[in-house]
Structure 1
């Protein structure tokens, strides 16, 4: 069968689709990935075929403009969407539609997706939850389509709450946008344009889901992209080692609530080797790199994390999933990008790990101090319960269906659709 992937034009989201794309390709299916010019270089490194669509979006610059500085004192609570007020649910749906979905999936991109879907006639379109225009293109091209989650399904939960609370002719900005898009191609709006026919979920079972979508569980697989194993990683560490990372996609735009300097201050002098994945730009503002810190521009997390006793990070879904895969205790200082922090996972990941005793939610307020992080690192390293519980979550993750099994599931679903 022919399968078209549509990621959000951000490198980390492309990587989140790569493992399934290659599994389908290895099973003999034709696979292509539709990407904006933002990801031209990245798609070439995957070894897969890219299809250019739409204009250059420059999301890194856009995100840098809307990033918060972590000092606003705003409420960090994440209320259950089912108990949110109608006005709050409607406003969040409206804000996401206008300020995000329409930005990352403009009309020109959807037009290119529709044209290509009608030309190539894919049997299946797999799309990022933020790229709802891909669902319009799938319907226009006669393809079955599914969402592939990157982090939590907060959008699914918000939409479910919206539909339950909406009354009569309630304003629905998301429906209005998608109906307008679809109408250009003779298509009627359906809720599958928002939530997909199915939703592939690589996150652990304890990350909250929405009641409406039909979920397909899949094991998370770490995809780091091309890299070489450094000499120092080819031998066992001399003592305890921890990883300190803010994720590659956050560089030069936004990071965690703590600055790089504050993070390095927190680990200075600890009896532990710290591998800090910071590049030259991130280190330029640091007066001194502590003696126990090994700064590296890039190292594959899949090779580094198995040697670590803990990882400190920003709560990105890729780093979170990689640490789960390797059974490493996590200390999360959520992203300072308010939209990501609230909607796509960092806070929920941190809270879930805390509840399972496999990690620490470091910044549970908008005040952060290096001393606080230092105390938590010591706590995790000295309490073996953290590593035992992280190992238990790893075994739980390994029990989820492998990516190869997902290929078989998708083959069956597409065959059923054809019948």
Structure 2
């Protein structure tokens, strides 16, 4: 029995000694933390002082103790970094659950006063978030417009004549552009749709207050149903007296969240970039005891944002890197070959073939077609094109065997890229 007690005492002594022995090893800690994949860059992952306080790490600011921190492993993609001033681990680059749902970081925290070293192994679990990262839709792809460099206001959707039409009981009137008449606003644009919540400026308040105050008929709420030229439902917009009506749940924590006053909520779907967005929104509105049919007619073109910005008012910054294209609606990134992730900053070895022109196979008939093979992030010794010409039938069109031949390009060959041109005979 005495032998076991002696062994325990020796083991305990060895565990306490390292802080004063060679190497100055002060402690070893293991922890884990969970973070959502949509955590913004700069957000806190873990306060490292929590480990030191638990281990009596002499976290006394007044004694002049300073620390250096080194992430020794697990951070190859540089998703995280440490703010040494307050010993806080933060998000340094956008996360993406699909490509890396877990990080195992090893950190060394060194007390520069006595050179004692604390080792921390931290497991960071990234959780999936529905709808993130945003989806890049070609159906409402937006152009990039020149940046004037001035304080000019930009709008992703622009009315051709700067106005919209209102028809009240058959009488047509024109008003300034709808979006320019909104006060504080918060717009969510995703998958070719728009959700917007805004307070009303004085212009709108004067126009709508009499109708919204018709408590019995309108109840502090006027809802317009919207349809396109084919009479398909494409959304709605609702005016609220928020002292009488509750805003939709998604809008309650936005800029227009308030306990009194007037607000408008807009929901529009199926916005396309191939043609002007024309909608007619209708409602029966009671004013001073009389009910009138009211039609509001909008027509908008997708004009786009300056490079590096997105959103309805082009007031948000894109995060896309490595030549990726930023979607004007939601800031989604269309990555170039060899890159993945929310910001297209995760290297991705792959082999891809790019066709030019690349819009439609029909355009290739009777014209030359250039194919470029890329192998980003792959050490390539050589490339060779292997192809077979044969008859191919698609409805009434066919490509005859032997009508096409390939010619290697001499201007675009490199270790990771080669190009061939298919010539139409």
Shorter-chain TM-score tier: under 0.3
- The structure carrying a bigger helix percent of its residues is 1
- The structure carrying a bigger strand percent of its residues is 2
The structure with the larger Rg is 2
Greater RCO (CA < 8 Å, at least 6 residues apart): 1
TM-score of the pair, normalised by structure 1: 0.21
